[in-house]
């Protein structure tokens, strides 16, 4: 909605991460494989609904190996499946993502 310039309806304020993830899983339709490099941030701890998917999956790449035609970098991160993108764990993902972006773009070029 925000991408379309619309306001988020009041009834969606305060929606939990678990609910957002449930909708995302329900509505996700795999497209053709990604050509290029990709990063899989994989959670390493959590219980119940927050248990890391890798703990219950037969595939350590969580089916991303089939969705990427290229390099797939796996980054294990603290937190559970949904808590890894919440405080205090999201800071670690942000640091690692910034590092990966810096590596991808290389050193700054003086103009």
Asked if 100 and 73 touch (Cβ cutoff 8 Å), the reply is yes
CA distance linking residue 93 with residue 89, whole number of Å: 7
| 31-46 pLDDT tens trace | 788 888 999 999 999 9
The full set of domain ranges for the chain reads 34-105
Q: Confidence class of residue 16 from pLDDT cuts 50, 70 and 90?
A: confident
Report if pTM > 0.85. no
More confident residue, 108 or 79: 79
CB atoms within 10 A of CB 108: 7
């Amino acid at each position: 909605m925000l991408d379309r310039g619309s306001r988020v309806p009041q009834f969606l304020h305060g929606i939990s991460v678990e609910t957002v993830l449930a909708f995302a899983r329900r509505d996700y339709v795999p497209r053709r494989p990604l050509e290029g490099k990709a990063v899989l941030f994989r959670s390493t701890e959590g219980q119940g609904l927050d248990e890391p998917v890798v703990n219950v999956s037969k595939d350590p790449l969580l089916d991303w190996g089939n969705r990427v035609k290229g390099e797939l970098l796996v980054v294990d991160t603290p937190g559970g499946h949904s808590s890894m993108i919440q405080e205090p764990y999201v800071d670690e993902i942000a640091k690692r993502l910034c590092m990966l972006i810096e590596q991808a773009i290389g050193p700054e070029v003086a103009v």
